[in-house]
Structures are given as C-alpha cells and as structure tokens.
Structure 1
Amino acid sequence: MVAIKTRVARSRINPDCQNDPPPLRVLTFLYSFAPGGVERIAARLHAAWAARGVDSRIVLADARIAAPMPLTAVTQIAAEPRSGTLARFVALLRGVPAIIAADRVDVLFCAGNTYTAPAVALRLLLGRTCPPILAKISNDLLRPDMPWLVRVFYRRWLRIQGRYIDHFVGMAPAMRGEIAHLIGVAQDRISIIEDPALSDADIARLARVRDGALRTRPGRHYLAIGRLAPQKNFALLLDAFARIAQPDDRLRILGEGPERAALEAQAARLGIADQVALPGHTDPLDIWLGAADAFVLSSDFEGVPAVVIEALAAGLPIIATDCCVSMADLLGHGTLGTLIPVGNVAALAAAMATIATAELEATMQARRAAAQRFTIEHATGKYVALLAMLAKTRAAQR
C-alpha cells in the first residue's frame, strides 16, 4: 500500500468566501528534490505560484533530500524508502491519481524532460479524467550522445509525448522550432518562458560578490559547474586545460557524480592534479563565482544551463560549447562570451588561453542585464497565465 504523508493540510472551502471562485489548482510531481537544476527551479516556481494565490502542491516519491528552500503543501508518496528511479516512477503512478481526484487538480506540471515518462503514463492511466499537462523542456532534444539506433526510438518517444502532453514550454526563443519539429506539435501548443534560474535578489547578490572579490592572485582561475557525468564532458575540459595551463593557473570543477574517479585519474595522468580541484557539490555558488576569472562549459548537450545564467549574473567571462540551440542567443551571439564547437579540444584550449582576466565594466554590466530575463519575477506571471489558460480550455471542453 502507498503511504501518503502531507506536510500541510488544506481546505478547499473558505467559509467566509463562499462565492469566491476556487483558486487555480496545480500539481507538480517529482521523484525527489535531487540537487539538480530541474528540481530546484520546480521548487522556486511552486513557491512563486503559491505567493500569487495558486493552490500549488508538490508530490514527491522520495523526500529524503531536503527541499532547496522552505516550502509548504509538499506531499510524499512512497511504498517504502527505495531510491531507484523505477520504484519512484511506480510510486508516483500509484499515488498521484488519488490526489488528483481528491484535490480536483486543474493542471499537472511536468518540470522537465526527466518527468515526461510519468506524465504520459498518468495520461494513459487516467484517460479523459487526467488534467491538462504542461511540460517544460529542460534539456536538449537532439541528444547527439545517443547511438543512432537508440536515437531512432528516442525520436518516436518524443512524438508520443506530443500526442499525450497538452502544452510545452521552451526556455528560450530558439527552442520553439526544435520542439515543433521533434515533438511534432503545432506552434499554438508551444510557449516560450525564460527559465527562472535566479531572482532579482540573486542577481544583485552575485554582482556584489563579484565586485567585492579581491582577485590579486597570480594565474588564471577557471570555474566549471555540473554533475560529473558524460554529458558535461569534463574530460574535454581537463585536456584543454592541460594544453594551456601555466604554473599558477587553476581549474575548479564543482559537482559530484559517477565520473569522479576517472577525472581524478585523468588529471594525474596529464600532470595537472595539483592545479585541478573537485570540491564536490557546493551551494551557494557565490564564493566560487566571485573568485573565478572565467566560467567554462564543456558539455556535449544542454537545455538552457542555469550555471551559464548564474555566470552572466556575476558578470564573468564565459567560454561555452555550442551545445544547444539556445546557447548563441544566451551569449549574445559572441558579445557576452565565446562559443566553440562541441568536442573541439583545440578550440576550447585556445579560448581559455586568450581569456581576459580584466574586462571593461560595460561588458560586465551587459552580461548582468542579459541575466535579467531569467528571473522568477519575470517568469511567474507568464506561467500563471498559461496554467490558467489550460485550465479554462479544459473546463470549456467539459
């Protein structure tokens, strides 16, 4: 039997406001509050929607990882404390339908590509009683890392998503065409809402940290952030750094994951182990962004990486691979950072070698202005309007 633990009990009826329309009811389902961008931004949106009067709830399959911020209306569904993805997937399918029925949920929010599988499964399970589903596309749809045969089946899976998910959100304008082409949906089923990776307060704080940092140390200090996994291609970054590193240069890679041992061995083999640090997953990132001379993204594929937005907010020089359709726009087509081909170690090394450790104030301010598009204050109203539209359309159909 599925155990349901609700942190906050809520009433649907206010006896003092019998004639008021009920609030918009939105349910976000997550496997857990894993230390990743998708879950962190889902929590941020949940809190912002609640502040706007939306009756917002998060349902978790595993609550052992603490939320990234204080939250209310969080429900845990778990048959037993197991951490496997399949077990959490099954727990969501067993528990979410009862909550949808009890709360009369208006819209389901699918927080990222990782959650499209339970979204489609819920639609198949519930049929016409399933609320409309809004899915945010949080990662690259092309997936060049996949073997060709796997990619054939993956493309068919994207088309299945287009059949059973009602509406899609892209995180930057360049994603619209990619979503329409690969998922196979009409333009009126796609909205663009810039990813709310930061708040206005975050941008101001990162600017202060960066401006207040004393960077009087010798050498160039490079920073990279991400899960130590093949997608991030930190092996490429180590190769590039080894080509250009001077004795006082340093590289820090923040994150944790299955490739730690391989990356440490590679750094030792390249003779740069004393110049490379892997401190693990750290939060907040302020001190690291403030101390760095440049931010480097070496990924093979991404959606709209929040770490690049944070680097922009700090005013940092940025070197990034052309790993998604949105990266050129994100870097101002070369005015805010340097874009290099994916997997090109020579180009990455050359860009790292020529990075300017002292830049014009105007360039730093331009980066910070670009980051303003990616705030929760900018996105909340757009999301609430879109969620309300989906709920209204479904109500009219009924």
Structure 2
Amino acid sequence: MFQSRRPSARNFSVAVYLYQPGDGGLDRVAILLANHLLRRGVPVELWMTRTDGACAHLIDPALTIRHVPTVGGTRRLSMIAQFPALATMVRRHRPDILYSAGNQSNMLVALATLGTATQAVSRISNPIVRPGQHGPSAWMRLKRFRAIAWLSDLTIVMGEHDRALLAQSGDARLLPRPTVTRAMEQACSGRAPRRPGDPWRLLMVGRLAGQKDQAMALTALGQLRHHDWRLTIAGQGPLRADLERQCVALGIADRVDFAGFVCDPDRLAALMGQTDLLLQPSRWEGLCATLIEAMACGADVVATDSTPNIRPLLAAGGQHPVTPVGDAGAFARAIERSMTRPAPAAMRAVAIRDHSVDRALDRYLRAFEGLAGSRVRQPIPSPALS
C-alpha cells in the first residue's frame, strides 16, 4: 500500500502523477516536488506511465514509484485511456492528495479523485488562453480550464493573470515556480565580467519545436550580423534540421552551435553563467523557467509576449519589455538595446528571489498541509499513516 521509505513527520500523504520524466519544465517540477516532500517527511509516491526519460536521473532513489497502466497510442490518448486505472489506484492506495504535473493531466487527476476523500491538485503549466487566441476557440479553452479548476480542490497558477481568470472557479493560488538551484547561484557569483571586444554570448534553451519558435529568433539575428555575437542552442526536437538549414541560408551558421538537450541541471547552470543574453522567442508559455534560470545565473533576457505571467517578472528584473509574438524585427531591436543597456544585478536578484527551489517548494508543502487539514478526516485512514 501507500508507504514512505523514511520516517513520516507529516499526517498526510501525496501521490504525484507524472506521465513520464521527459525533458519539459513540468516534468522537472514534479520530480523536484516529490523529492522535496520526501525530504520533509511526507509520505509521497511518484505515479508514472513510463519511467524512462531525460529527467529520470533526477528522481530520488528512495522514492516509491508506481506504474499507471495504459493501452498505448499518442500521449494524449494514452492519458485519457488511463482513467479507469488511475481511479482504481486512488481507491486502492488512498493518498490524501493527488497532484497533477501539468495541463494535460489536470482533468484526468480531477476526475480520478471524484467520489473519494483524495483531494486533487491541478497545476497550470501553459497559458489558459494563448497569445493571439480569440473567438470560440479562446472561449472553449477558458471554459475547459475553469471546469477543471472547479473539479479540483486546489489549482496552482503561475501568474496573477491566470489567477484572475480562475477567480470564480474554486481555489486558485499563485505559487512561485521552484527553479533557482544552488548551482545557479554559484554560476552567478562566479561569472566573469564581459570584456570590451568579446563577442556577445547568446543562448536559447528549449525543445526545437514550433511552440518555441527558434526560427523567428534566428531571423532576428540575421538582421544583426553587424554585431559580434555567438549563439548556443540547447535543445532537441523535430525542427533541428530545418533550423540548421535556416542558419546556412542566413549566413550565420558559423556563429551558431547546436548543443543538443542539456539534461544535467548543473551543466545548464554553468552554460547560463557564461551567457550575456538569453533569447526566449516562444509563441506561448506558462511562465517559462528558463527566464528565471537565466536571471538567477546573471544573464539578461529578451522574450516575446508568450504569456502575461512573465511581464511582472521581467519588469522587476529590469529587463527589456516583451516583444510581440512572431515579430522578428521587434525581437532584433530588443536584442540590440539589451546589449547596450544591461540590467543592474540587484534588480535581477530581487525578481527571482522567491523562485529558489527550497523556498518555493516549501510554499507547495504549506499549501498541501492547509488543504489536507481543511477536510474532515476519512473514516478509514490512509494506509500510508497506519
């Protein structure tokens, strides 16, 4: 049954549902959360469909992992088909809280806990309404998110904009994103100042896919060939060959290094610590951890208006305002201005302070404690507490 391999100091239990430990930010957050709860004495388990993936090495070996069976198919269809199995697991193991890693699993987790004493926690990991989305599609998407929030006992959002959209749909709380690690702080303190005459060191981090829109950023950089810069692209995905061909066509191939997916957080922190400017050209995001990571490592940021949630963060950090999604000309101008007007280090530090991993995850823990304490205890106690 539901057990922890360490002595329990808490009177509630948590199951973290994660489809697989992939290369996305939501996967990392879910694993970090499970690890943190374990260290804090909470009986916690990871419930996963697959255990292989880019972030699998981050899982604490002491964590109990349970397999959630499915029938296969695409990830979305596979998750839909998991409902009977997940609902059965909830009733068999009876965790006090079932946490969903992100948008795709929020409805699954909320429905699997209906009619039980287990409380569902959903986490918004991408915009509720995407930039540029209007009309019936935007209305339907908002209605779906509000329905999920209404079914969930707690919805974790990443910005005031999202919280306002869900204000009438249950308990929606803004919690910091657990992002800033000790390695990032060390990368920042160990930064070598940029010397006059050195090339500008630019970085993009993210899956090479349409959402991240690296192609637009490359077009912008093609307009800045008169500046001395070098770009590293950290990520893997289906568009790599297209992006490499674009670099050749733009005449910038000799300035761009495709580094592949960087799965080691310490290595990524070191890379950011050597970066002057992070480029974030996404079409949509939830909050985007790489912005926080880069500022934590001492780099400045140029970003598109991929979500209203990043506007306060960039303003607090003294960064250039967001540019319109897909506008290469505006993105190029923002890069050029950021090269000449770096932000004060103190502003960056204040902006990301609440996003340190331990501080942010303790906020999650306190939210879970309050949630578990708000409901009358079930007549049959959770096996985790027996």
**After superposition, what is the alpha-carbon deviation per residue over 1:181-210, rounded to whole angstroms, capped at 9, x for unaligned?**
xxx515xx11111111123x234222134x
Cα deviation, residue 253, structure 1: 1.5
Contact 2:128 2:162 in 1 (8 A): no
Q: Pick from 73, 92, 95: which aligns with 1:105? A: 95
Counterpart CA distance in 2 for 1:274 and 1:72 is: 46
TM-score, length basis structure 2? 0.86
Cα 1:154–1:236 shift into 2, 3 Å: same
Q: CA RMSD in A?
A: 3.0
Q: Given residue 19 of structure 2, which amino acid in structure 1 is its aligned partner?
A: Y
Secondary structure of the residue aligned to 1:285 is: helix
- More deviation, 252-261/388-397: 388-397
Partner of 1:43: 31
1:393 is aligned to 374
Question: Which moves more between the two structures, 254-263 or 143-152?
Answer: 143-152
3-state secondary structure, aligned to 1:244: coil
Matched with 1:303 is: 286
CA distance in 2, matches of 1:368, 1:198: 11
Q: Does 1:287 align with 2:274?
A: no
Matches for 1:159-238 after TM superposition, within 5 Å: 159-180=146-167, 184-186=168-170, 189-199=171-181, 201-209=182-190, 211-212=191-192, 218-238=198-218
Q: Determine if the alignment matches structure 1 residue 63 to structure 2 residue 51.
A: yes
Instruction: Quote how far apart the aligned CAs of 1:397 are.
Output: 8.8
Instruction: Give CA deviations for 1:210-264 in whole Å, capped at 9, x if unaligned.
Output: x247767732221111111111111110110000123742222211112212212
Which of 76, 85, 108 aligns to 1:118? It is 108
* 2:13 is aligned with 1:25: yes
**Secondary structure of the residue that 2:358 maps to in structure 1?**
helix
Report Cα offsets for 1:95-116 as digits up to 9, x if no partner: 4334333432101111211221
Given candidates 353, 365, 369, the residue that maps to 2:346 is 365
Q: Which runs of 5+ in 1 are unaligned?
A: 1-5, 15-19
Q: Percent identity?
A: 26
Residue 141 of structure 1 pairs with residue 128 of structure 2: yes
**Aligned partner of residue 331 in structure 1, secondary structure:** helix
**Alpha-carbon shift at residue 40 of structure 1 (Å):** 0.6
Per the alignment, do residues 269 and 164 of structure 1 end up closer, same or farther by CA in structure 2, a change over 3 Å counting? same
Q: Is the 8 A contact 2:71 2:78 kept in 1?
A: no
Gaps of 5+ in 2: 380-386
Residue 3 of structure 1 corresponds to none
Amino acid at match of 1:138: S
8 Å CA contact 2:14–2:42 kept in 1: the answer is yes
Which of 28-37 and 91-100 deviates more? 91-100
Q: Is the 8 A contact 1:61 1:88 kept in 2?
A: no
Summarize the alignment of residues 238-387 of structure 1 with structure 2, pairs less than 5 Å apart: 238-246=218-226, 248-282=228-262, 283=264, 284-332=267-315, 335-356=318-339, 359=342, 363-387=344-368
Residue type of the alignment partner of 1:244: L
Work out the number of aligned pairs and report it.
374
Distance in 2, matches of 1:106 and 1:9, equals: 12
**8 Å Cα contact 1:113/1:137 also seen in 2:** yes
Summarize the Cα distance change of 1:175–1:232 in structure 2 as closer, same or farther, 3 Å threshold: same
Q: Distance in 2 between matches of 1:351 and 1:86?
A: 37
Distance 2:76 2:156 in 1: 26
Contact preservation (8 Å) 1:48, 1:376: no
